[in-house]
Amino acid sequence: MLIGSLQTSPDTTIAGAFPEPGNLTLANYAAINSRIGLLTGLVNSGIFTGGVLLGTVVFGVLAGYALAVLQWRGRDATFALVLLVQVVPFQLLMIPLYVLIARDYGLADNYLGMILPFAISSVAVLIFRQYFMQLPRELFDAARIDGASELRLLWGVALPLVRPALVTALLVTFIGPWNDFLWPFLITKETSMQPLAVSLANYISNVASSAANPFGAILAGACVLAAPVVVVFLFGQRYFISADLGSSVKG
């Protein structure tokens, strides 16, 4: 993909997978940027992803703490529902969500409209619950005896001990909204509000046929879209392993 994005003339043969100095250029990046605005798309993707991550951490921590530490009637049934949500495909909820967000709330072409359906992640709730369940109960009992409130327990005792869970939840959640196409495509019609994945899809559908080198321009846009994900994975790959191990440990 990277080599294809730098080719002056597209070469789809096996030999094209190797860089040829005479066929390399940065014009494809300039071409795609002039058509869709890579910086604007990156900013929109960043706002969308950042909002989802913020909601994931806040609601995931609160729900995970309640399901792991607090004792209340219906806790196990609620946790079962959290697991059940993971098997419900988003496509089943897409039309009702669109009607709710766009028509009832009036949040079409709005960052909040993009973020709301993904603000709570059942995967993040599961990760935080499993990490919280591994903490010794004696820590919470001692803090309660000293008069600490539940919010104080969460902030001062639990969160410092589950920092790996925070990073894990952020990394696992980041990839989804950053690469998401379907929901932002439905909820945004203004090109200035669309994340980069949607802008690239619109380019392929509407503009690529008239471009001088559509193959190279599309690959250039894809490289820009993929670069943050690759960087995040390289720096956080150990936490992906931690996510798999931590979520499988029985509290």
What pTM was estimated for this model as a whole? 0.85
Amino acid at 88: V
Average pLDDT for 5-24? 82
Supply 228's token pair. Answer: 């943050």
Residue (of 197, 123, 105) closest to 165 by Cα position? 123
Supply 128's token pair. Answer: 């935080």
pLDDT digits (tens, 9 = 90+) for 66-86: 999 888 899 999 999 988 988
Question: Measured between alpha carbons, how far is 149 from 147 in angstroms, rounded to an integer?
Answer: 6
pLDDT at 106: 92
- Please count the other Cβ atoms lying within 10 Å of the Cβ belonging to residue 13: 7
pLDDT digits (tens, 9 = 90+) for 169-227: 888 889 889 999 999 999 998 989 999 999 999 888 887 667 778 888 899 999 999 99
pLDDT digits (tens, 9 = 90+) for 127-138: 899 889 888 888
pLDDT, greater one: 163 or 30 = 30
Any residues with CB less than 8 A from the CB of 239 and at least 6 apart, and which?
A: 164, 167, 168, 171
pLDDT at 242: 55
